[in-house]
Structures are given as structure tokens and as C-alpha cells.
């Protein structure tokens, strides 16, 4: 299960856009609406033209939300709902536009071929919604995983006899660096013929929003009792890299087995 590969390219492509407070499209659309509003109020243009411009502004604003969340790096649990709402509104607009175009074809005002761009745009935005759903699900899983790790750590400390059934902890004295992680990735791919299924690489917006310091840590979505997990634990032990191997979900937490490479995530200290 490889969580990040489906959205990695989109995320990277959108990072630069996510840095600005307001996109150029929103600024242009808002200026256009204001200009049209004055013309409509003066009776120089029909109100339908203003409505179309307002719809374009709303669409630009929704896409600005997606640039920050779906195509950016700032997605948190709180922003997931905003992301999904924006994506679904864009989908509704495309469906409405296609219906309008189909009506024109039905009464003979426009040719059948005129539907093609509307259909293509609808397909594109529908895929955008699917990606948003996938990323929202990933965000939820990352949050649950972080909370589960904290909960399980408390259980291991309070009920050490249950430790073997819940997780395996190794406090190696090796340094888990980016270069070391690259070697682990390469070795895993050589051994199993597939990429290491990373679920969280270093610190994410989700971890920051929850107050967890996940810098220098990596979560891998494999069970320690599967061949891939057993191999990974042996590799980490050999290199003295600390890890937590979670054998099962924490009761009440919607997350499964995984391997956390590096020290356990700590809570940020206030004022630190």
C-alpha cells in the first residue's frame, strides 16, 4: 500500500502556487466582477453576464483553496472539509455547464461537437474530486497514526507485560539520516522489487497541527510480521536505527500495523 505516490507529483507541482495569499486568477476575476456590476447597474449589460462572472470568481476562489490543500503542503484535518467542499462545488459547476450545453444541442442551437470541451472539463474535475478524497483519507490516517503512536507509547509504559503483543521497540544508537533512509529505500526495492510504502515522511502539516514533532521520522505501511516488515526490522537493527514496530491497531484507533523509523514522535514544548 503506497499512500503518497498517487499524489506526490500533484503536491510538488502546486507548492509554488500555495505560497501566495491570493491567486492571480482570483484577483482578475474579482476585478472583472466589479467592472461588470457597475455596467449592469447602469443598464449597459444584462444581469446574466454578471452572474456568469460571479460563478467564475467563485470557481477561482475554490481552486485557490485546492492549490493550498490538494496541490499544496498545508492540508490538515481542519482543512480537509474545506478542500472537499471546494472540489465538489467545482464539480457541480461543471455538471451544470454540461447540462446547459446539452440543452442547446437538444434544441438545435449548437452542434453535438460543442459538448466535447464541457465533457472533458467535467472528467478532469471529477478526477480532481477523486484525488481530493484520497488525500483527505490519507490525512485522516496520518492523524490517527500519530495519535495511536502516542496512545500506544503510554500503554507500553503503563502495561509493559502487553508490549510484545502490541509493538516492538528498539532504541538503537545509530543516527537516522536522510542518506541512511535513501539506502534503506534502495535496499528494500532491490529485495522486493517495489518501492518502500511510505505513509509519512518527516514532518507534515498534519503532525504540526496535532502538536507532534515528526522531524527526522518516517512511517512505513508494512506489518512487522510480514516478510517486508521482518526484513526492514532486521535491516534497522543491523544499522542500530531506532524504531517502533506496531503489530496491530490501538483499541479505538482507526490505524493498522506499521513501522515507525527513528525516535518516537514527541509533543512540541510550549514556547520551544
Rounded CA-CA distance 126/133 in Å is 11
Count of domains observed in the chain: 2
Query: Domain containing 251: what range?
Result: 143-267
Residue 125 near residue 94 (C-beta atoms within 8 A): yes
* Among 140, 170, 191, residue at a domain's last position: 140
Contacts of 90 (CB under 8 A, 6+ apart): 59, 62, 63, 66, 125, 128, 129
Q: Which of 73-77, 94-98, 221-225 has the highest mean pLDDT?
A: 94-98
Q: Tens of pLDDT along 160-170?
A: 665 556 677 78
Same domain for 152 and 96: no
pLDDT tens digits along 11-20: 333 443 334 4
Q: Same domain for 82 and 157?
A: no
> Strand 266-267 vs strand 218-220: parallel, antiparallel, or unpaired?
unpaired
Pair 38, 99: CB distance under 8 Å: no
Per the domain annotation, does 243 fall within a domain? Answer: yes
- Higher-confidence residue of 254 and 192: namely 192
Specify whether 149 is located in the same domain as 67: no
User: Phi and psi (nearest 5°) for 67?
Assistant: -65, -35
CA distance linking residue 243 with residue 155, whole number of Å: 17
pLDDT bin (cut points 50, 70, 90) of residue 262 is confident
Q: What is the pLDDT of residues 43-65, one digit of tens each?
A: 777 777 777 888 888 888 898 88
How many C-alpha atoms does 190 have within 13 Å on its Cβ side? Answer: 6
Is the residue at 272 inside a domain? no
Residue 268 confidence (pLDDT) above 50: no
Amino acid at each position: 500500500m503506497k499512500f503518497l505516490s498517487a499524489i506526490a507529483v500533484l503536491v510538488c507541482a502546486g507548492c509554488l502556487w500555495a505560497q501566495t495569499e491570493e491567486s492571480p486568477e482570483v484577483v482578475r476575476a474579482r476585478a472583472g466582477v466589479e467592472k461588470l456590476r457597475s455596467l449592469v447597474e447602469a443598464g449597459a449589460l444584462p444581469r446574466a453576464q454578471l452572474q456568469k462572472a460571479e460563478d467564475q470568481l467563485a470557481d477561482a476562489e475554490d481552486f485557490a483553496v485546492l492549490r493550498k490543500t490538494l496541490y499544496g503542503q498545508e492540508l490538515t484535518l481542519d482543512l480537509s472539509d474545506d478542500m472537499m467542499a471546494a472540489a465538489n462545488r467545482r464539480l457541480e459547476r461543471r455538471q451544470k455547464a454540461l447540462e446547459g450545453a446539452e440543452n442547446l444541442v437538444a434544441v438545435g442551437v449548437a452542434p453535438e461537437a460543442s459538448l466535447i470541451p464541457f465533457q472533458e472539463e467535467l472528467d478532469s474535475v471529477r478526477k480532481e474530486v477523486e484525488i481530493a478524497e484520497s488525500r483527505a483519507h490519507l490525512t485522516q490516517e496520518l492523524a490517527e497514526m500519530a495519535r495511536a503512536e502516542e496512545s500506544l507509547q503510554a500503554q507500553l509504559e503503563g502495561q509493559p507485560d502487553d508490549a510484545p503483543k502490541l509493538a516492538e521497540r528498539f532504541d538503537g544508537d545509530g543516527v537516522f539520516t536522510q542518506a541512511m533512509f535513501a539506502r534503506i529505500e534502495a535496499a528494500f526495492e532491490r529485495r522486493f522489487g517495489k518501492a518502500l510504502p511510505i505513509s509519512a515522511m518527516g514532518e507534515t502539516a498534519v503532525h504540526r497541527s496535532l502538536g507532534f514533532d515528526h522531524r527526522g521520522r518516517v512511517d512505513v505501511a508494512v506489518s512487522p510480521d510480514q516478510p517486508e516488515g521482518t526484513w526492514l526490522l532486521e535491516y534497522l537493527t543491523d544499522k542500530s536505527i531506532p524504531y517502533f514496530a506496531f503489530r496491530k491497531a490501538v483499541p479505538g484507533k482507526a490505524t493498522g500495523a506499521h513501522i515507525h523509523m527513528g525516535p518516537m514522535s514527541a509533543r512540541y514544548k510550549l514556547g520551544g
